[in-house]
Structure 1
Amino acid sequence: MANPIISRTELAVGQKAMTVKGVVRKTGFMLALSTLSGIGLFFYALMSGLSASFVYMLALGSMFAAFGLGLFLTFKPQMAKTLAVPYALLEGLFLGSVSLIAMRYAPSIPLTALSATFVTAAIMLGLYRSGVIKVTEKFRSILTSAIFAILILYVIQWVMRLGFGSSIPYLFDGGMIAIGFSIFVILIASFSLLLDFDNVERGVAMGISSDYEWVYSVGILATLVWMYIEFVRLLSYLQE
């Protein structure tokens, strides 16, 4: 599956089945929460003059908290209805703090990355709905392997950065290899949206309970946040 949060099969069939509209509404609600949380932090930091070190620590803290909550929902998807709101708020804090950090490279990066994220998401939805790209089992398997490989690289990078103050050679240093790797990750994140869309349609076809619409919404939000962060990373490299 594209996103571990919605890859579990412990989803129950209920009296009221989930719908695509239900997932869309809940995803929109969570996006709004994340946006408000991120914008609130962004302007508060600008007006109050929060230090760069505090913003950096907030970025790390919110990232790991959201990651941990998402990991918990992977094993307890029935809790998504309760934890979706705090998850969205944490993602908003993460987005806001990352945007503040990105402004050190260029003030235009956050807005450009946000625009690129939503344009890309719209394009992928169009490609999926038109059937130009079909989600086959082979496509799903290859993409899932790529996603987990990238996740492993991220974990190694976090350990090296936080534990030793170093980095994986070439992949995160802003050079041409790092730019190429960032473009590759953006492509993988974009294609993973196709799997998220397909997962929603599969859930609807299976008659899964509407309570689990929150699970799919959390998964889509996680993918969109991933895309945004990678666009920010790429734009920061290009500014350097």
Structure 2
Amino acid sequence: MRSSNPVFSRRGFGRDNGYAGFNTAPQAGGPAVATQANPYAQPTGNPYAQNPYAQQDLQHGAPPQAPATTGRMTIDDVVMRTGTTLGVLIVTAALSWALLPVDDAHISRSYGIGIGAALIGMVLAFVQSFKRKASPALILTYAAFEGVFLGVISSIVDNRIADGAAMQAVIGTMAVFAGVLVAYKAGWIRVNRRFYGFVMAAALGFILLMAVNLLFAVFGGGDGLGFRSGALGVVFGVVGIILGACFLALDFKQVEDGIAYGAPREEAWLAAFGLTLTLVWIYLEFLRLISILSSSD
């Protein structure tokens, strides 16, 4: 099964019967069976099969724990890379908030810089998504430009639409992250093929509707079909946050699988990149939802 984030979609994680593996899907009581091509695959099958955990049976739907091995991804690697990526994003967001005023005399220039930074960040995200290996410099550059965009758009919403909206969106994003992490670790969320298929189908429909709404807004003016304003905007904002939470569960599963099945340490940067994409999605949905609710008062 492929991940929700494009950064993982080209990686060699596979799932079978609700379980996951790196290049292989271990079957309970049986040998690992290859599931799909993987840039780290070797002719002999699973390149990590010599590790004891690769031959263990899965219990309760959770992959076995990988022993400490030099050059393999660990949870500490993921935490450090994610913290670094988010740190760069937060710093540039704070700088753009402070240095790009959004008063009547400067809002057009600041908004233009923010949109330009968003487009550059989008291009960098696509470039990294299609690269076979992680590029820390590219990922951190993406985070920097994405931070500029978030700083500008957050300042506009906070200063001109809803006072305190940015902090509320940050708290909401942190709450969703913590809630999904607790639910995932407690086993309340089971990530399997059915879950993945449902989330991806819902996400595709959501994105298509937003694209249609944007086209109507561009060529017809106003709010398009109204999917991003009023009562419908509130509904779609909530749906967007729920989808973001589902993406987080998929990302947590991919990180867990990568650690358990001996993914190379460089994959930690990709995990950080994927988590950052999802957290930005959730934050923006919260920000939009708060602005809609404040405008309707």
TM-score by shorter chain over 0.5:
yes
What CA distance in whole angstroms lies between the structure 2 residues aligned with 1:102 and 1:48?
12
1: CA distance, partners of 2:208 / 2:117: 19
For the aligned residues, what is the CA RMSD? 2.2
| Residue 3 (structure 1) aligns with | 5
Aligned-partner SS, 1:210:
coil
1:146 alignment counterpart: 202
> Do residues 30 (structure 1) and 85 (structure 2) align?
yes
- Calculate the TM-score normalised by the size of structure 2: 0.74
Q: CA deviation at 1:97?
A: 1.1
Gaps (5+ residues) in structure 2? 12-37, 42-46, 48-69
Given the alignment, which residue of 177, 180, 185 partners 2:240?
A: 185
**1:133, CA displacement in angstroms?**
1.0
What CA distance in whole angstroms lies between the structure 2 residues aligned with 1:211 and 1:50?
45
Query: Would the alpha carbon gap of residues 216 and 73 (structure 1) be closer, same or farther in structure 2, given more than 3 Å must change?
Result: same
Which residue of 218, 227, 231 corresponds with 1:171?
A: 227
Quickly say closer, same or farther: Cα 1:25–1:55, change in 2 above 3 A: same
Give, in whole Å, the separation in 1 of the partners of 2:103 and 2:293: 29
Higher helix share: 1
| CA 156–5 in structure 1, closer or farther in 2 if over 3 Å, else same | farther
Task: State the 1:88 CA deviation.
Answer: 0.9
Kindly indicate whether the alpha-carbon contact (under 8 Å) linking 1:11 and 1:208 is maintained by their aligned counterparts in 2: no
Kindly, what percent of the aligned residue pairs are identical? 28
Equivalent residues of 2:237, 2:289 under 8 A apart: yes
Measure the CA separation in 2 of the matches of 1:48 and 1:178: 26
Equivalent residue runs for 1:98-113 within 5 Å: 98-103=153-158, 104-113=160-169
Deviation of 1:47 after TM superposition, in Å, equals 9.5
Q: 2:277 aligns with which of 218, 222, 227?
A: 222
**What displacement does 1:85 show?**
1.0
- Secondary structure (helix, strand or coil) at the match of 2:100 reads helix
What do the CA deviations read for 1:38-71 (whole angstroms, capped 9, x no partner)? Answer: 0011011249987111222223222222222111
Larger radius of gyration: 2
Q: 1:183 to 1:88 in 2, by over 3 A?
A: same
Q: TM-score, normalised by structure 1?
A: 0.91
Tell me which moved more, 4-13 or 25-34: 4-13
Gaps of 5+ in 1: none
Looking at structure 1, the residues matched to 236 and 227 of structure 2 have their Cα atoms a distance apart, in angstroms, of 6
Is the CA contact (8 Å cut-off) linking 1:77 and 1:215 kept in structure 2? no
Gap change, CA 1:135 and 1:122, over 3 Å in 2:
same
Distance 1:203-1:35 versus aligned 2 partners, 3 A rule: same
> Are 2:267 and 1:212 aligned?
yes
Alignment partner, residue 12 of structure 1: 40
The 8 Å contact of residues 92 and 151 in structure 2, kept in 1 or not, is answered as yes
Q: 1:175 Cα deviation (Å)?
A: 1.2
Q: Quick check: 157-166 or 28-37, which moved more? A: 157-166
Cα shift at 1:161: 4.4
Alpha-carbon offset, residue 37 of structure 1:
0.4
Q: CA deviation at 1:167?
A: 4.1
Letter in structure 2 aligned against 1:150: F
**Matched AA of 2:87:** A
Query: Whose relative contact order is higher, 1 or 2, with alpha carbons under 8 Å and at least 6 apart?
Result: 1
Distance of 1:154 and 1:87 partners within structure 2: 23
* 1:94 counterpart residue number: 149
Equivalent AA in structure 1 for residue 40 of structure 2:
A
User: Given the superposition, is the C-alpha separation of residues 114 and 140 from structure 1 closer, same or farther in structure 2, using an over 3 Å criterion?
Assistant: same
In structure 2, the residue matched to 1:85 is: 140
| 1:56 equivalent in alignment to 2:111 | yes
What code does the residue aligned with 1:12 have?
Answer: Y
- Native 8 Å contact 1:38 1:94 kept in 2: yes
**Greater displacement, 81-90 / 226-235:** 81-90
Contact 2:97/2:152 (<8 A) preserved:
yes
Distance 1:236 1:176 in 2: 12
> Cα deviations across residues 110-135 of structure 1 (Å, max 9, x unaligned)?
01111111111111111111111111
The Cα shift of 1:101 comes to: 1.8
The residue aligned with 2:16 is: none
| 1:136-182 Cα shifts (integer Å, max 9, x gaps) | 1100111012223323334444444456645431202x211111111
What is the CA–CA distance in structure 2 between the aligned matches of 1:180 and 1:163, rounded to whole Å? Answer: 24
Q: Separation in 2 of the partners of 1:28 and 1:153? A: 33
